[in-house]
Amino acid sequence: MKKFLSKIHRPCFSWQWAVAFVLVTGLVLAAAIYPASDPDLYIMLATGRHVVQTGQAPTVDLWSHTAYGQPWPMHEWLSSLLFYGLFLLWGVNGIILFKAALLALAFGLALYTMKLKGVAPSIALITAALALLASSYGFGERIQILAFFFLILLIFWLEVNRAGRLGYPVFLSGIMALMILWANVHVTYVFGIFIIGLYLFDEFIAAFRKKAWGLIVKPAVSFVAAFAVTGLNPYGFDNLWLTLTYYFRPEMQKADAQIYTSLVEYQPLLSPGFSRESLVISGLIWIVFSFAGILLGWKRLKFSFVILWTLFTYWAVGYVRFLWLQVFITLIGVGFHWQGAGEALSSKLKVESSKLKVSGNAIFAISVVLILLGAGLYQRTGKHIWQRVELGWKPRMHSDQAAGFIKQHRNGGKVFNDFDIGGYLLWKEIPVFVDGRIGPYFGTEILPDHFRILSGDLDLLDKYGIDWLFLPYAKTSQTEDFDRFNKKIVSAGNWALVFWDDACLVYVRRTEKYREIIERYQYRHVNPAVPDFSLEPKLFLGELTRRIAEDPALLMPHTLAGNFFFHHNDAKMAEQEFQKVIKIDPYNAMMYNNLGNAYLRQGRVEQAVESYKKAVKIDVNLGLAYTNWGYLMEAKGDIKQAVKLYTIATKVTPGDAWPYNRLGIIEMKRGNREKAIGYWKKSVAIDPSSEAAKYLHEYFRR
C-alpha cells in the first residue's frame, strides 16, 4: 500500500500530468476568450493614458464634474499602464488574449504546486476543473485577473519554501519583489499580507510545539519585510490603512451599502439577481467539494487554511465577487486535502496494491472523460452562450457615435450618465457625473443623488446643472426601471431626444443654448425606450427610415419596426423585422422573445415556445420571456408550469409588476385569496397603475 501511495505522490507516468496541464489550459482558454464586456476596462485604459501623458499616477479626480479635485488613490496604476500598452499595440484583442494567457498560467502554476505537494494528477485535474467552473464568471477584462495570478504565485512561493526547496535569501527576495509589484498592481495585495501572516502563525504554532522559538525568526522577518515594501507605491500605506480601519468608518460603510445594492457582483451568492445564473450551482459545488476535502483530509489541516477557507467562504456567500478570490486562495489547499482524503480512504478499504496500481491509470482516464463530457454538456446548456472563443467587443457595449455627438455639441454642458457607462465617457474625455472608480465619491452625496435621480427625482438634475443625459439601454433585469425613468424624462417636457442608436439614448435640455441642435436633430415620433405605437405609420416608420438612412448598420430600427407591426396586428411583418435582427445578432435574447410573440399571434404555438426557450437560454435573466412563456402555458391550462415561470420572472426581474399580477389571478382562481392579495400588493407597489390595482380595488369594494 505504501509503495502504491508513494507512486501517487510522485507518479511515474508523466503523461498524466502532461494531459492534465494541456486539458486544463485548453478549458481555461475556452472559458476566457470571449468578447470584451467589462465597462471598468475603460477606467483602466484612461488611467494608463494619464500615466503615459503626465508621467505620474493620479492622486485626485480629474475626470468628473461632480467630484473634481477629490482624493483618488489609484493603486492599480501599474496594471492600468500594462492594459493601456496592450491596447495601443493590439487593441482590445491584446487585452483579451493576455487575460486568457495569465489565467492559464495561474491554473498551470496551481497544478504544478499540487504536483510538488504530492497530489495525484486525477485529484489535481478534478480540483482544477471544479475551480475553473466556479471562478469563470469572474474572467472579465479586469485588473482582478492579475490578483488571481498573484494569489497563486504567492501560495506557490510559500509552499515551496515550506517544503525546504528554497534558500532563505532567495525566498525573502522573492517575497519582497512580489509584494512591491503587487502593491502597484491591485488592491488585493492586502490579502497577500494577510496570507503571509497566517503562514507565519503556522510557524509560530510549530515552534511552540517544538519549544524551538528560533524557528519563527525568519518567518517574522519575512512578514515585516513583505509588509514594509508594500509602502513602495505612489500612495504609501494609505490603502492598507483604509482597509484596516474600514469597520471604524461609518461613512465608508454607508457608501459601500449604496453601491452594493446597485452592483450585481456585490450581491449575495443566493440573491435573486443570480437565481438563474450557473455560477450559483458551480459556486456551491465548489464550496461543498472544498469543505468535504477538509473534513476527509483533516489530518493535513493547518491553522492558516482553516482561517482562509472560513473567512473567504463567508465573504463569497455574502458577496459574489469574493467567490473568485476564495477559489484561487484555496485551490492548491483543496487539492492537497483531497489527496489526504484519498489516502485515508484507500487505507481503510485495504485494497490490494496490485489492483490499485491498475486502477490508477483507469481513474485518471475516467476523470479526463468525465471532465470532457461535463465541458461539452455545460456548453450545450447555453449558459453564457456568448462566451465562445471569440474576440472583439460584445455587441452594443458602447457607442462611439453618441460620445462623438456629445463632444461635438456639448458646448460646456454637464452630462448625467449611468454608472456603468461612466468609464467609457471618461475614456472619451467627457466629464462624467459618476463612474466605477467609487473612490472620489466617498464622503459626498453624489452616489445617493445618482440613485435618487434614476428613481425619478429630476429636480436634482437642476441642482447639478445637467444639460445632457447619456443613457445606455438597461440590463434585461432592469428594463422596467429604465423604461419608467425615460417616461419620467419625456413627461417632464423639458428634455429633447437628439440621438439614439443600438447602445444608448442622448437627451438635451430644452434651452435657448441648444435650440439649433434640437431643431436639427430631435426625434419627435420615435423614442426606443418609450415608443408610441399608436402613431400613424407614416410618422413612426418614417422616422425609422430616416434613422436607417443615417446609419444603415443599426438594428434598433428593425426592432422598433417589428414591435410597431406587432402592435398593429401584422405579425408576419413583425416576424420579418425580428428575423433581420437575429440574422445579424444571433445571440439577441430579446429578439427571440419578440419573435415568440409574433409566432404566437400567428397561432404557431410550438414555435413560440421554442423562441421563448431560446431567449432564456441566451439570457437567463430575461424576465419578460419567462412571463410571456408563462402566459402561454397558463392559456394552455398548464398552471403548474405557468406558476413556475412567473415565479422565475419575479426573481430575475423584480421591477416588473406583470408576473405578480398573473400569480395573483391564478391564486384567486384557486381560492387562495390572501395569497392573491399579497401578489397584487407587490404588483401595485412596483407600478400603482398596473392591472393589479384594479383587482385590489374591486376586491375591497365587495
Measure CA of the first residue to CA of the last residue in the chain; give whole Å: 80
Q: What pLDDT was estimated at residue 25?
A: 95
Provide the pLDDT confidence category of residue 6 given band limits of 50, 70 and 90: very low
Provide the pLDDT confidence category of residue 229 given band limits of 50, 70 and 90: very high
Q: What pLDDT was estimated at residue 701?
A: 60
Q: Left (φ > 0), alpha (ψ -120 to 50) or beta: where does 382 sit?
A: left
Q: Which position has the higher pLDDT, 217 or 309?
A: 309
Task: Report the alpha-carbon distance of residue 62 to residue 654 in Å, rounded.
Answer: 37
Can you tell me the mean pLDDT for 394-422? Answer: 89
Q: What pLDDT was estimated at residue 1?
A: 36
Task: Report the alpha-carbon distance of residue 536 to residue 564 in Å, rounded.
Answer: 10
Q: Is the pLDDT of residue 518 over 90?
A: yes
Q: What pLDDT was estimated at residue 702?
A: 56
Provide the pLDDT confidence category of residue 393 given band limits of 50, 70 and 90: confident
Provide the pLDDT confidence category of residue 483 given band limits of 50, 70 and 90: confident
Give 120-142 as a DSSP string.
-HHHHHHHHHHHHHHHGGG-SSS
Can you tell me the mean pLDDT for 472-477? Answer: 73
Q: For residue 19, what is its C-alpha cell?
A: 494531459
Q: Are 186 and 75 a contacting pair, CB within 8 Å?
A: yes
The half-sphere exposure of 684 on its side-chain side, counting CA atoms within 13 A, is: 13
Provide the pLDDT confidence category of residue 205 given band limits of 50, 70 and 90: confident
Q: What pLDDT was estimated at residue 418?
A: 87
Q: Is the pLDDT of residue 313 over 50?
A: yes
Task: Report the alpha-carbon distance of residue 229 to residue 652 in Å, rounded.
Answer: 46
CATH for 548-638 is 1.25.40.10
CA proximity to 554, closest of 616, 489, 499, 485: 499
Q: What pLDDT was estimated at residue 81?
A: 96
Provide the pLDDT confidence category of residue 263 given band limits of 50, 70 and 90: low
**Amino acid symbol at 156:** F
CA proximity to 405, closest of 522, 498, 474: 498
Q: What pLDDT was estimated at residue 273?
A: 62
Q: What pLDDT was estimated at residue 9?
A: 42
Task: Report the alpha-carbon distance of residue 116 to residue 9 in Å, rounded.
Answer: 8
Domain chopping of the chain, boundaries: 2-32+73-381, 400-521, 548-638, 657-702
CA proximity to 51, closest of 90, 83, 96, 95: 83
Task: Report the alpha-carbon distance of residue 74 to residue 81 in Å, rounded.
Answer: 12
Q: Which position has the higher pLDDT, 438 or 160?
A: 160
Task: Report the alpha-carbon distance of residue 607 to residue 603 in Å, rounded.
Answer: 9
Q: For residue 409, what is its C-alpha cell?
A: 455639441
Task: Please give the model's pTM, rounded to 2 decimal places.
Answer: 0.87
Q: Are 119 and 339 a contacting pair, CB within 8 Å?
A: yes
Q: What pLDDT was estimated at residue 494?
A: 93
Q: What pLDDT was estimated at residue 4?
A: 34
Least-confidence region, from 30-34, 238-242, 560-564, 618-622: 238-242
CA proximity to 47, closest of 62, 36, 58: 58
Q: What pLDDT was estimated at residue 457?
A: 92
Task: Report the alpha-carbon distance of residue 107 to residue 332 in Å, rounded.
Answer: 10
Q: Is the pLDDT of residue 357 over 70?
A: no
* H or E element that contains 319: none
Task: Report the alpha-carbon distance of residue 321 to residue 263 in Å, rounded.
Answer: 10
Q: Is the pLDDT of residue 375 over 50?
A: yes
Provide the pLDDT confidence category of residue 382 given band limits of 50, 70 and 90: low
Provide the pLDDT confidence category of residue 262 given band limits of 50, 70 and 90: low
Q: Are 54 and 164 a contacting pair, CB within 8 Å?
A: no
DSSP 274: G
What b/e readout covers 533-563, taking b as 16+ CB neighbours within 10 angstroms?
Answer: eebeeeebbebbeebeeeeeebbbbbbbbbb
Can you tell me the mean pLDDT for 635-642? Answer: 90
Which regions of 457-599 does DSSP assign to beta strands (E)?
A: 466-472, 495-500, 504-509
**Amino acid symbol at 566:** F
Q: Is the pLDDT of residue 251 over 70?
A: no
Cα–Cα separations (whole angstroms), residue 541 to 226, 523, 545, 555: 66, 12, 6, 14
Q: What pLDDT was estimated at residue 260?
A: 59
∠ CA 331-333-337, nearest 5°, is: 120
List phi, psi (to 5°) of 350: 50, 50
Query: In CATH terms, are 400-521 and 548-638 the same topology?
Result: no
Task: Report the alpha-carbon distance of residue 622 to residue 586 in Å, rounded.
Answer: 16
Task: Report the alpha-carbon distance of residue 141 to residue 160 in Å, rounded.
Answer: 30
Contact residues for 264 (Cβ-Cβ < 8 A; gap 6+): 273, 274, 320
Q: Which position has the higher pLDDT, 163 or 69?
A: 69
| Residue 35 three-state SS | coil
Task: Report the alpha-carbon distance of residue 669 to residue 679 in Å, rounded.
Answer: 13
Task: Report the alpha-carbon distance of residue 44 to residue 50 in Å, rounded.
Answer: 10
Q: What pLDDT was estimated at residue 473?
A: 85
Q: Are 575 and 566 a contacting pair, CB within 8 Å?
A: no
The domain 400-521 having CATH identifier 3.40.50: the answer here is: yes
Contact residues for 682 (Cβ-Cβ < 8 A; gap 6+): 650, 657, 660
Contact residues for 79 (Cβ-Cβ < 8 A; gap 6+): 44, 143, 146, 184, 185, 186
Can you tell me the mean pLDDT for 588-592? Answer: 91
Task: Report the alpha-carbon distance of residue 208 to residue 463 in Å, rounded.
Answer: 64
Average pLDDT, the chain: 87
Task: Report the alpha-carbon distance of residue 187 to residue 546 in Å, rounded.
Answer: 49
Can you tell me the mean pLDDT for 200-212? Answer: 84
Cα–Cα separations (whole angstroms), residue 25 to 54, 109, 322, 506, 647: 39, 11, 23, 44, 39
How buried is 469 (Cβ within 10 angstroms: 0-12 exposed, 13-18 middle, 19+ buried)?
buried
Task: Report the alpha-carbon distance of residue 283 to residue 269 in Å, rounded.
Answer: 8
Strand order from edge to edge, sheet including 466-472: 414-417, 466-472, 504-509, 495-500
**Amino acid symbol at 303:** F
CA proximity to 547, closest of 481, 499, 605: 499
Give 483-512 as a DSSP string.
HHHHHHHHHHSSEEEEEE-SSEEEEEE-SG
